[in-house]
Amino acid sequence: MREFIVEADGGSRGNPGPAGYGAVVIDAATGQTLAERAEYLGVVTNNVAEYRGLLAGLRAAHELDPAASVHVRMDSKLVVEQMSGRWKIKHPDMKPLALQASGIFPPDRVTYEWIPREQNKHADRLANEAMDAGARGEPWEPSASTAELDAEVSGAAADAVVSTAGPDATVSTAGPDAAASRGAASTSPAGRAASATSASSAGRAASGTPASSAERTASATPASSAERAASIAPASTSTPASSPAPASTCAPTPTPTTPRDSAAAKAEADVRAARVVATPGWGAPDMGAPATFVLLRHGETPLTPQKRFSGSGGSNDPSLSEIGREQAERVAEALARRGTIQAIVASPLARTRETAAAVAARLGLEVATDEGLRETDFGAWEGLTFGEVRERYPDDLNAWLADPEARPTGGGESFAETAARIAATRDKLVATYAGRTVLLVSHVTPIKTFVRLALGAPAESLFRMELSAASLSAVAYYADGNASVRLFNDTSHLR
């Protein structure tokens, strides 16, 4: 069976920001580069770019030989651990990418290994070439790429630095993991071939052996000449996608902080923040990623602190107050850190469009509007406080509170009519944004109605929910018609 190495990487200049990936397919027997892939992705997160690089590398390997076995080497701990089955995939943008990657080759023919960044220079340079090309408004051109040459030159320079100190000195001061960081030799064809052959064999052996046993065997067995030549990491760093989790994995060698280190730290923070919309564990694995609606109520208007009815009736269309604009900036900053939003749809009213514009400016996205997301029409009650309505229209107010079919005074919109409108809008947007995460910028009644319908709660539950200005809620919609409320009235970004 033919064997390939896939080295892949991705990066984002801003996280999310202008991003790109690089991937290289190498013949494991000879170390020869067989294929290179790179692409500018637009604005996405660092982790999404890394997954896209993995996908491109696996697809390129599959095009070369669908029957081959593949050893994937990446410096992304997140991707390696998730694809090896040791870490759960909760980020809604990564799940479909991981699912696609796992379906290109049978799981028992793919192994994954974390490697230090220094050993992934070829793919890293391809990713940067793609981002540079995107910044110029051009596609990445394989014929103009110098990534392989740059990586080999850099690897040779690293070898020269190591050789001046002597291998024994490096090992004695840094311990056994220093051998892995010294593996710049693997950037040469022969070094990469030896490294991949030994590492992938170790991964297959580990798949049938408990981790602690495999580690003891590896530590007690003299290294082969190929292992010594390539200075590979311990066998426990490489495992098939379907194998049980080993007891430990190789940790990155500490290096001085660089802009890329900072980007990686921000990416990890994005993932942690996005866990507030955690995936429920009861869904069937073959349903694919849900359509996830992140529901953002607009920032404050002058009417908000006065608790006045402010719907979509008549000429009542207030803009954001100074406080509301500040709230919009804060939520925009929070959503940019999380890096999960792929599209923005807003109610056509002024306060929602202003809030959406602040977020869109941070995320580099366009804002679409949908009439279905507007607030309820409160008829003659527009601009009045609850007390003023009770004083002027007591019978109409009592009927409205008791019956979802009752309309506000003056021919406004009933809660039942609002619910029908929101249900139709939901179905349309779920179909449009299947498998994606979309920000819906709306109002109190529509957002509460999205949540109520997802829970199957009665209409009176609308009066039992508190929804603050500029708060975030989230609902996921699955292919089987079920929905899951993941977040409600989150205002942590305002504190």
Residues classed as catalytic: 298, 375
Q: How many residues does the chain have?
A: 495
Q: Which tokens go with 54? A: 């993995």
The residues, any chain, with a CB within 8 Å of residue 138's CB and separated by 6 or more, are none
Q: Which tokens go with 452? A: 């109520």
The residues, any chain, with a CB within 8 Å of residue 128's CB and separated by 6 or more, are 11, 20, 22
Look at the block and give the residue holding tokens 């960081």.
181
Q: Which among 343, 282, 293, 338 has a CA at the least distance from the CA of 475?
A: 293
Look at the block and give the residue holding tokens 């993932």.
271
Bridge-based pairing of strands 110-114 and 69-74 is: parallel
Q: Which tokens go with 323? A: 């406080």
The residues, any chain, with a CB within 8 Å of residue 94's CB and separated by 6 or more, are 47, 48, 51, 82
d(CA 220, CA 235): 12
Rounded (10°) angle between helices 121-135 and 46-64: 110
CA atoms within 13 A on the CB side of 194: 19
Name residue 240's beta-bridge partners: 111
Q: What is the layout of strands, in order, in the sheet containing 367-369?
A: 367-369, 343-346, 437-442, 291-297, 472-477, 483-490
What are the two backbone dihedrals, phi and then psi, of residue 347, each rounded to the nearest 5 degrees?
A: -60, 150
d(CA 232, CA 194): 9
d(CA 428, CA 443): 18
